[in-house]
Amino acid sequence: MKYTTQMDAARKGIVTPQIKTVARKENMRTEDLMERMARGAVIIPANRNHVNLDPEGVGEGMRIKINVNLGISKDCSAIESELDKVRAALDLKAEAIMDLSCYGKTREFRRRLVEMSPAMIGTVPIYDAVGFYDKNLQDITVDEFFDVVERHVEDGVDFLTIHCGLNRHTAEKVKQSKRLTNIVSRGGSLLFTWMEINQAENPFYEHFDRLLDICEEYDVTLSLGDGCRPGCLHDATDACQVEELITLGELTKRAWERNVQVMIEGPGHMAMNEIPGNMMMEKRLCHGAPFYVLGPLVTDVAPGYDHITAAIGGAIAGMSGADFLCYVTPAEHLRLPTLEDMKEGIIATRIAAHAADVAKGYPGSRAWDDAMSKARAALDWPGMFDLAMDPVRPRQYRESSKPEHEDSCTMCGKMCAVRNMNRVLDGKDIQLDD
């Protein structure tokens, strides 16, 4: 029996290699996985041209996945340095990489990225369109926008971020609103500008079926971008954001009718108390589709530390229903991240994702923490390092400040609570003085 997409296969009862792999990774019955895929609650982004993909599931009942943004730009166009970041991201177990390249040899970078990466790959084609055609934004035609989309999917990209929900009606809401930061989505702002100058509808909204044709042909997942995501706490959960979300829910149902997999992108900046309600609202308005969030960043006053503000929000979002976390680095709002910035962002986001998995009771997640606790109780330093999310840094800290006694550290020395409890419970004497 033939199928067009992973969703189509699930609806027809066909167990694809990708479905089999994800079921094994998630320790889930294939029948349960396929039921969730059939109704759109789980996606497996898997472009048929991405031949070395190690597929992952995103959505209901899945372990929370993380995404890493990178790519070349006019100011930082060195392909090899960005590929070094790709290798590091894969080593740090990122499940997805988004290529946000917008200038230079973007297709060469994208093709090399797809070729080397077993992680799923996403792109935002409108970024590439501006640099590729090398002409004013307003002069790019509808056909040219779609030609870039086709180029990306031909190259093997697994999911596309397209800001289809920012139509002219919502654009009017933006102009009437009293937002402090207007539109902060790069893709959203480009489409808003194109619509305003040309007095035309968003081409991806107006010609949504054409976009679905492309996605269906290559089995590409559509990541419906949030052009009106809040760029500060003040703008969170306003009419612009909610109206666009309603439109994305309508587009989701149209995509599912064509067996095209969908995930929804969300905020942005948002106070902690608003996050659970936003997660519930998205799931309701978008019919249970997987939710992909940037942060959310829970305060606006920590530039240089936004990987922390995002990890706080990401943990709350994940616990409340978000399925996919986009990393944020310390360089957010400031510059293209360095390799070290990227590592900091990945670890912070992985911490948030794992903390949310523990809170939700994802099978096996607590066992990792329990294993670490046992190693700590036994003062098994090598065991602790092996179990650490990032084994490198704890080893470096330990080596940089060696204690007098191997069964302690330089913080507590002989007053180490764990050491002394172990000794007294074993009936040994405790000598605190030298």
Residue-wise pLDDT tens digits, 42-70: 999 999 999 999 999 999 999 999 999 99
Instruction: Using DSSP, state whether 411 is helix, strand or coil.
Output: coil
- Structure confidence at residue 203 (pLDDT): 98
Is 278 annotated to bind a ligand? Reply is no
Q: Does 54 count as an annotated binding residue?
A: no
Q: Which helix (H) or strand (E) holds 107?
A: helix 106-116
- Establish whether 227 is an annotated binding residue: yes
- Annotated binding residue at 416? yes
H runs (alpha helix) in 155-202: 168-176, 186-198
Has 95 been labeled as part of a binding site? no
Is 217 among the annotated ligand-binding positions? no
Cβ(203)–Cβ(165) under 8 Å?
no
269 in a labelled binding site? yes
Domain ranges for the chain, please list them.
6-360, 370-395, 401-434
**Would you say the pTM of this structure is higher than 0.85?**
yes
Distance CA 85, CA 329 (A): 13
pLDDT of residue 433: 60
- Is 229 within any annotated ligand binding site? yes
Tokens of 278: 């936003």
- Cβ-contact 94, 68 below 8 angstroms: yes
Q: Is 186 annotated as a binding residue?
A: yes
127 is in an annotated binding site: yes
According to the model, what pLDDT value does residue 218 have? 98
Six-digit token string for 433 = 């003085």
CATH T-level fold of 6-360: TIM Barrel (3.20.20)
Residue type, position 411, single letter: M
For residue 384, the model assigns a pLDDT of 94
CB distance 358 to 369 below 8 Å: yes
Asked if residue 292 belongs to a known ligand binding site, the reply is: yes
pLDDT at 27: 96
Q: What is the DSSP letter of 269?
A: B
Give me the pLDDT at residue 17, please. Answer: 98
Q: Is the peptide bond before 118 cis (omega within 30 degrees of 0)?
A: no
202 is in an annotated binding site: no
Residue 144 has what pLDDT?
97
The answer to whether 305 is annotated as binding is no
Residues with pLDDT less than 70, the chain? 433-434
The answer to whether 409 is annotated as binding is: yes
